[in-house]
Structure 1
Amino acid sequence: MKRYAVYKTASAPASRTTGSVALALAAIAFLAKRFGLIDADVFVLSLIAAATIALATILLALFGFHRIWTYGGPGVPAALTGLFLGLLALATPVLVVGMLVMHSGASDLATNRTDPPELETNVASSEQPFLDWLNTALVEDVWPAVAAYTGAAPGMTAMANSAEDRLYPDIVPRRYRISTAQLHAASVKALEGLNWQVVDELPPDLLDAPTYLQAEGTSQILGLKHDIVLRVRPDSVGALLDVRSRSRTPLKDLTDNADRIRLVFSEIDRVLLETYGDLARLSVDETELEEDLPAEPVEDLRETIPLPSFKPYFEDEDAPVAEGLDAVDLEG
């Protein structure tokens, strides 16, 4: 009995090999970035390479299925393995792109837009020319074109122009009915609770003196660095708190700068609640404040000059007498 040669496709085992390479590259890049072993540019370029290899893996696996369906022969387990590894290798690039789309807010956000707290300890962002170019191209070219095509130009334009007042209406300065020294102590306790390292501090020397705090934090997923600045100044109510959050890279994680400012406020509220108990009498809403009106002068309707109700006199004979006054004998 004549035996015919069994057809064997080469694309199925090739997809399994390339899928293993893509998954290993994506996993190594993710772990290296999480522990700070590589910078943002190397991380993004590694993800682009891993995504390219993963797409090639998926195409090879699909082509292998087609050849096996047409000509028969073994290779289905290898093609399934390659397809699974290719899809798994795409998970990290898709996650990064998804976080960029979902958290496409400002990389530097403050509660006071006109007078934000300054970074006293100037921490410069790492050298990332490719990522800076990519972020600029996305903001200036890609997103406006997509917005114009989909008809969502107003929202994208506001996002591109960093219209924080419209995007973050709740990110505003907050006032507290306590002294600046007390609010500074609560802020230090809040930063400790968030596991953010304080890198610069201006402690209060008086109860109503302005204070300053700057801390450094790390995101949970990608290990991205960000700077947090808290500025406490005396106010007519008690103390005025301004917060600023700045990302050192255009990459985004599960939380953005607006979320970090909200987290600072909530943590300070928790500390004040544990310390004083009644938070409602400490925090002041902006809507409760009235504009400070200039004091109106009080007009005196009387025509005569007001005189004191008693005359000063000296009990002791040796007491000093005002100069320029003649002695008068009251008995004579």
Structure 2
Amino acid sequence: MIRRRLYVEERVSRLAVWSLRTAVFALPVTLIGLALYLVEALDFRSAAYTVMAGVAVAALALLMALAGFVVIWNEGLRGLGRVLGAAALALVLITPVAALAAFSVGLPVMHDITTDTEDPPQFVTLAMARGRNTNPLAYAGDSAAEEQRIAYPGIKPIEFDGLPDDIYTALMRLVAHHKWLVIDAVPPRGGIRDGRIEAVARSMPFGLRDDIVIRIRPTANGTRVDMRSLSRNSDRDFGSNARRIDTLFSELSEAQGRPRR
């Protein structure tokens, strides 16, 4: 007599299957947006839209995973591993964007910060090297100056008793230390002209390019240093430009052996 075994096939939750597929699809969409921006195939805004599309798909996958978990719990279906995998992958994509949004709350929508709002340091070489789809280099004027004064009251010029050439040399060391890409460097030559350092830096969290110009100006009592840091593509810098200026001026003051006022 042939014995027959009875196999009871456990059904797999379709929500579990599709939540994982959706989360997997969201991953390359998000990474492609970031990769194309890093290789300069997309401008920042287009890359941001692509990343946000990927995050939106990830959010949909997370909702499907939660719904799938409820169905599995109530009906005893298979697919718990898929649900957990989809939720984990979706959260990996969603969490950085959510954290960035929370971090940006309260920060001004600014992208051009300068220590001299009346006579901002001017870009010369970078003005010719930047692409057409970038933020303008012309300073926005009184409205931007007032907004900066309220948001970052500590961003001011700094003065030293030292010679312009010595301050210029110290600044070049600090720029090299921060690994900023120097585009042009004009020494003050004994104080007969303004010194100028133009460089490009990458800012967090997306590696956005920021353009920097530092002006070393001789004064009757020594040297005055002004700095301008401007985001190349984004209209929001998440405070990175102000932090960069504040950090550099604090390091320069320490290198010159005097407290920053």
Which TM-score tier does this pair reach, normalised by the shorter chain?
0.7 to 0.9
1:244-259 aligned within 5 A: 244-250=228-234, 256-259=240-243
Deviation of 1:5 (Å): 7.0
How many percent of aligned residue pairs carry the same amino acid?
25
Shift of the alpha carbon at 1:266? 2.4
Are 1:217 and 2:231 matched, yes or no? no
Residues 47 and 92 in structure 1, CA contact (< 8 A), matched pair in contact too: no
Q: What does residue 223 of structure 2 align with?
A: 239
Contact 1:110 1:116 in 2 (8 A): yes
Cα-to-partner distance string for 1:64-87 (whole Å, 9 max, x where unaligned): 122223322212222222222222
Report how far residue 44 of structure 1 moved: 0.9
- What stretches of structure 1 of length at least 5 have no aligned partner? 130-158, 273-278, 286-332
Which residue identity lines up with residue 11 of structure 1 in the other structure? L
Alpha-carbon RMSD: 3.1
Q: Does the 8 A contact of 1:19 with 1:54 survive in 2? A: yes
- Are 1:192 and 2:198 matched, yes or no? no
In the alignment, does 2:249 pair up with 1:265? yes
CA distance in 1, matches of 2:55, 2:36: 17
In structure 2, distance between residues paired with 1:164 and 1:208: 31
Q: TM-score normalized by structure 2?
A: 0.81
Structure number with the higher strand fraction is 2
* Residue equivalent to 1:127: 133
C-alpha deviation, 1:269, in angstroms:
2.7
Q: Distance in 2 between the 1:99 and 1:34 partners?
A: 23
Partner-residue secondary structure (3-state), 1:170: coil
Of stretches 182-191 and 206-215 in structure 1, the one that deviates more from structure 2 is 206-215
Q: Structure 1, residues 177-228: CA drift from partner, whole Å, max 9, x if none?
A: 0122221222222211111122123222334542222111122542211111
Residue deviations 1:101-160 (CA, integer Å, cap 9, x gap)? 36545211111111111111215466379xxxxxxxxxxxxxxxxxxxxxxxxxxxxx98
- The question of whether the paired residues in 2 share the 8 Å contact of 1:7 and 1:73 is answered with yes
Paired with 1:128 and 1:177, the residues of 2 have a C-alpha distance of 38
Name the counterpart of 2:167: 183
Listed as ranges, the gaps of 5+ residues in structure 2 are 136-142
Counterparts of 1:181 and 1:202 in 2: how far apart (Å)?
A: 10
Note if contact 1:229-1:243 (Cα within 8 Å) is conserved in structure 2. Answer: yes
The amino acid that maps onto 1:231 is R
Contact (CA 8 Å) 2:231, 2:237: kept in 1 or not? no
2 CA distance for matches of 1:178 and 1:34?
Answer: 40
Hey, what's the Cα distance between the residues in 1 that align with 2:220 and 2:63?
Answer: 67
Pair 1:32–1:267, CA change in 2 (3 A): farther
Map of 1:62 onto structure 2 = 66
Is 2:42 the counterpart of 1:42?
no
Q: Which residue of 1 aligns with 2:76?
A: 72
Normalising by structure 1, report the TM-score: 0.65
Q: Contact 2:215–2:225 (CA<8 Å) still a contact in 1?
A: yes
Q: CA deviation at 1:14?
A: 0.9
Closer, same or farther: CA 52–161 of 1 in aligned 2, 3 Å: farther
Instruction: Report which of the two structures shows the higher radius of gyration computed on alpha carbons.
Output: 1
Q: Is the 8 A contact 1:99 1:253 kept in 2?
A: no
- Cα separation, 2, equivalents of 1:57 and 1:90: 11
- Structure 2 distance, partners of 1:22, 1:97, is 19
